[in-house]
Amino acid sequence: MVERVKVRFAPSPTGPLHIGGARSALFNWLFARHHGGTMVVRIEDTDLDRSTREYEELILDSLRWLGIDWDEGVGVGGPNGPYRQQERLTLYQPFTERLLATGQAYECFCTEEELEAERQNLIAQGKTPRYLGRCRNLSLQEKEAMRAQGRKPAIRFRVPQGKLLVVDDLVRGRVEFESDDIGDFIIVKSDGFPTYNYAVVIDDALMEITHILRGEEHLSNTPRQLLIYEALGFKVPQFAHISLILGEDRSKMSKRHGATSVVQYREHGYLPHALVNFLALLGWSPEGEEEIYTKEELIRLFSLERVSKSPAVFNLEKLKWMNAHYIKKVSAAELTKLCLPQLQRAGLIGTELTGEQMSWLEQVVAAVQEKLEYLAQVPDFVKVFFGETVELDEKDTAAQQALALETSPAVLQAFLTKTREVSAWDVPQVRQILKEIGKEVGVKGKALYMTVRVAVSGQSHGPDLNSLLALLGPAVVAKRLSYTLENILAH
Ligand code: GLU
């Protein structure tokens, strides 16, 4: 039975929100919402060289786009602020002073070069590199001498020897670590900034976080964090380390596997809920075979008991399938609005559309809706509806054959004549006209329909022929037929 629940998502703003980070954020959010708890978003920006406000904004924007909201944190405020670690420096100080005063931490004057030499030496001896404690027991005089040399100390945590450190992980079960495998680690850098392993503990404790749900890559940090909890007398929260996300070749998901950030999926035209549905099932599965869930269902069903220990495999085909499912459910008007930026970027439409153009565009988008897997495909799928000329697809042999038939010129000529007799037509009229041409020229089936399709679109596949012709209208169809007769058939 879970009592009070307070969780946090604590990204470092050193890049856009990745799929793994988004999944961690989502699991925290689902867990919080399931238990009626509190969701916090805190920014871990103590790595000054790599953190930027632009990345912070990008991450928050991706969370909002996914529909992940938070009750406390950056941009929202709350009783435990500020929520950026850079703004919390004075909060860490008293704890550091306490650790120094009790001897649980000490000043370390070693330079980068000295530490590197020690590392290399250990590696050469076949040992695991770690800090051997050169500054562990410096006298006051020794420290003064170091200071006189202009050295600025970092602060290290004095790791107790011979201690068994146990993480009772809600996903991984009992995981044990030996303190002897951990060298004294830096908690405050010489520039005065706390390190991740230190700040994270103080923040989680002061913010009264009850459950820490995060990626498995942080499991190895947890023993260090446990030592800090203990040294500062903080209550230890519950940990749940979620398995890695692997690419389809079973190696850790990386850029090699394609898009890794949420913004990239957004730009390709994945719908936010498709991504949420997909991410929810990366490492968690409710009972049963169902794959499609609303947000409300995910919240209702989510539980840590059903989070898997084994790594999740990112299957792009499944994501596409899910996205196609959600695309089909959107109304044509809504879908068209979502596609406008893609269509504008492709130069197919301008920025200002009249009501008439908009409703034509909605019908065009509706004609390809069934086939769409992601919105970036839209320009390519609908380009057949734009322009007055025809480009024959050189690689499309079926298309070449359809135009090479002996009957083709007569079919196209007959159709051209018909287009000049009407100023507008709808699908039933188009159907009727095509039938009449078939009778006139004495052809049917492919020799009729494929020939018309290729003459008008340049390819043997595409949207439903009658809809295509109806939406193009007789004037444009006439222009394209003339173009094909003069420029393609004549050669
Ligand atoms: N700032 C850490 C990261 O982005 C968060 C780790 C944690 O959740 O404790 O990986």
Same-domain pairing of 228 and 137: yes
> With 70 as the cut, is the pLDDT of residue 224 above it?
yes
- Residue at which a domain ends, from 216, 242, 268: 242
Residue 24 CA, closest ligand 1 atom number: 8
Q: What is the pLDDT of residue 258?
A: 82
- Residue at which a domain ends, from 185, 208, 242: 242
Q: What is the pLDDT of residue 2?
A: 60
Same-domain pairing of 57 and 121: no
Residue 168 lies in a domain: yes
477 Cβ partners below 8 Å, 6+ apart? Answer: 415, 419, 456, 469
Select from 19, 26, 197, 214 the residue to mutate for testing ligand 1; criterion: most ligand atoms less than 8 Å from CB: 214
Mean pLDDT of 73-99: 97
Interval between CA 458 and ligand 1 midpoint (Å):
53
Q: Which amino acid does the sequence have at 198?
A: Y
State whether the beta carbon of 169 lies less than 6 angstroms from ligand 1: no
Interval between CA 433 and ligand 1 midpoint (Å):
65
Same-domain pairing of 220 and 108: yes
Nearest CA to ligand 1 atom 6: 10
Same-domain pairing of 235 and 96: yes
pTM of the predicted structure, to 2 decimals: 0.93
> With 60 as the cut, is the pLDDT of residue 449 above it?
yes
Residue 145 lies in a domain: yes
DSSP string, 138-199: --HHHHHHHHHTTPPPEEEE-PPTT-EEEEEETTTEEEEEEGGGS---EEE-TTSPBPHHHH
Residue 196 CA, closest ligand 1 atom number: 1
State whether the beta carbon of 214 lies less than 6 angstroms from ligand 1: yes
State whether the beta carbon of 10 lies less than 6 angstroms from ligand 1: yes
Same-domain pairing of 70 and 113: no
> With 90 as the cut, is the pLDDT of residue 472 above it?
yes
Mean pLDDT of 248-271: 91
Q: What is the pLDDT of residue 128?
A: 87
State whether the beta carbon of 104 lies less than 6 angstroms from ligand 1: no
Q: What is the CATH number of the domain that holds 403?
A: 1.10.10.350
Interval between CA 7 and ligand 1 midpoint (Å):
13
Interval between CA 214 and ligand 1 midpoint (Å):
7
Assess whether 255 carries a catalytic annotation: yes
Q: What is the CATH number of the domain that holds 337?
A: 1.10.8
State whether the beta carbon of 51 lies less than 6 angstroms from ligand 1: no
What 3-state DSSP class applies to 332?
A: helix
CB 284 within 8 A of CB 78: no
Q: Which residues pair with 352 in a beta bridge?
A: none
Same-domain pairing of 131 and 193: yes
* Percentage of the residues of the chain whose pLDDT score is greater than 90: 95
Interval between CA 11 and ligand 1 midpoint (Å):
5
pLDDT tens-place string over residues 9-46: 999 999 999 999 999 999 999 999 999 999 999 999 99
Residue 98 lies in a domain: yes
Same-domain pairing of 257 and 237: no
Q: What is the CATH number of the domain that holds 21?
A: 3.40.50.620
Same-domain pairing of 117 and 175: yes
Interval between CA 43 and ligand 1 midpoint (Å):
9
> With 60 as the cut, is the pLDDT of residue 1 above it?
no
State whether the beta carbon of 240 lies less than 6 angstroms from ligand 1: no
Residue 392 lies in a domain: no
Q: What is the pLDDT of residue 257?
A: 83
> With 90 as the cut, is the pLDDT of residue 195 above it?
yes
Same-domain pairing of 264 and 220: no
Residue 51 lies in a domain: yes
Same-domain pairing of 160 and 216: yes
Mean pLDDT of 77-102: 97
**Active-site entry in 143, 255, 309, 444:** 255
Residue 442 lies in a domain: yes
Same-domain pairing of 140 and 219: yes
Confidence band of 206 (pLDDT split at 50, 70, 90): very high
Same-domain pairing of 414 and 376: no
Mean pLDDT of the chain: 96
SS3 content of the chain, % helix, strand, coil (to 5): 50, 10, 35
Select from 41, 44, 209 the residue to mutate for testing ligand 1; criterion: most ligand atoms less than 8 Å from CB: 44
Residue 204 CA, closest ligand 1 atom number: 9
Q: What is the pLDDT of residue 321?
A: 98
Residue 30 lies in a domain: yes
State whether the beta carbon of 218 lies less than 6 angstroms from ligand 1: yes
- Residue at which a domain ends, from 242, 261, 279: 242
Query: Which is nearest to 45 in space by CA: 88, 72, 85?
Result: 85
Residue 26 lies in a domain: yes
Residue 8 CA, closest ligand 1 atom number: 8
Mean pLDDT of 220-247: 97
pLDDT tens-place string over residues 345-401: 999 999 999 999 999 999 999 999 999 999 999 999 999 999 999 999 999 999 999
Total number of domains in the chain: 4
Residue 341 belongs to domain spanning? 331-384
What 3-state DSSP class applies to 490?
A: coil
> In this structure, how many other beta carbons lie within 10 angstroms of the beta carbon of residue 350?
9
Q: What is the pLDDT of residue 17?
A: 98
Query: Which is nearest to 231 in space by CA: 81, 86, 101?
Result: 101
State whether the beta carbon of 189 lies less than 6 angstroms from ligand 1: no
Q: What is the pLDDT of residue 253?
A: 84
